[in-house]
Amino acid sequence: MEKRIAVLVSGGGTNLQALIDAEKSGIIKNGRISLVISNVKGAYALERAEKAGIKTETVIKKELGSQQAFEDKIISLLTENGIDLIVLAGFMSILSEEFTKTYPHRIINVHPSLIPSFCGKGFYGLHVHEAALAKGVKVTGATVHFVNEIPDGGEIILQKAVEIKEGDTPEILQKRVMVEAEWNILPEVVSLFCQDKLTVANNIVHIGE
C-alpha cells in the first residue's frame, strides 16, 4: 500500500519542492506527499504545496501556548491524515522526546553537513556553512538521518559529499550542497522508506535491495 508522507516546513520549501518534483518524476516509489504542515504563517513552502494540490495546515506554537499543545496539534493532524512518514524539511522547531518517541524511525531530517561535523544545537541554515568555511574543511555535504530527541542525533541513513571550492561564500556553498546533495539524497531516502527498504539494528541503518 502507498505510504502517506507529511512534510514539516518553516520557510521557502526548497527541499519540499525537490520532494514534489521527485514524486512527479517517479523517483519516489510507493509514496505520496499527503500533508504539509508549517509552523510559520505565510511560509512560501505552503504556496508550493498548494500549487501541487497538497493539503496544508499551519500550527503556531505561540497561539497554542505551549510546546505540548503545539505537538499535540501536529500529532492529531498526522493521525487524521493517516501519515506513515514525517519529513522535516527546514523545520525550525526542535521536537520533544515525547514526540519523537511516538514515531520511532518514522521521522527523517536532512542536515547540510556530513554528520558528525557541524551539527547539533545552533547548527542550522547558513551557520553550518559558515562554520565549515571557517574551519577550512575541503569537503562538506549533506546527511539524511532518522530523528530522535537529540538535535541531529538519530541514525544516519545516507550521506553525500560536496567539494568546497576556492572563493566559496556561505551562500554559494549552501546552494551547492542543496543542489548536489540534499535534493538528491532526501528523495532517495523517502523512496527507500516507502518501499520498506530501511531497517535499523544496533544504531546502524541497513538498506535492502
Candidates 105, 111, 129, 145; catalytic one: 111
Q: What's the confidence (pLDDT) of residue 121?
A: 87
Q: What's the confidence (pLDDT) of residue 109?
A: 96
Q: What's the confidence (pLDDT) of residue 1?
A: 87
Q: What's the confidence (pLDDT) of residue 96?
A: 95
Q: Compute CA distances 116 → 41, 156, 182, whole Å.
A: 32, 10, 16
Q: Is 111 a catalytic residue?
A: yes
CA dihedral of 133, 121, 56, 97, whole degrees rounded to 10: 150
Contact criterion met (CB below 8 Å) for 198 and 206? yes
**What parts of the chain have a pLDDT lower than 50?**
none
Q: Which domains, ranges and CATH numbers included, belong to the chain? A: 3-207 (3.40.50.170)
Q: What's the confidence (pLDDT) of residue 209?
A: 80
Q: What's the confidence (pLDDT) of residue 74?
A: 98
Q: What's the confidence (pLDDT) of residue 122?
A: 87
Q: The C-alpha cell of 106 is what?
A: 518514522
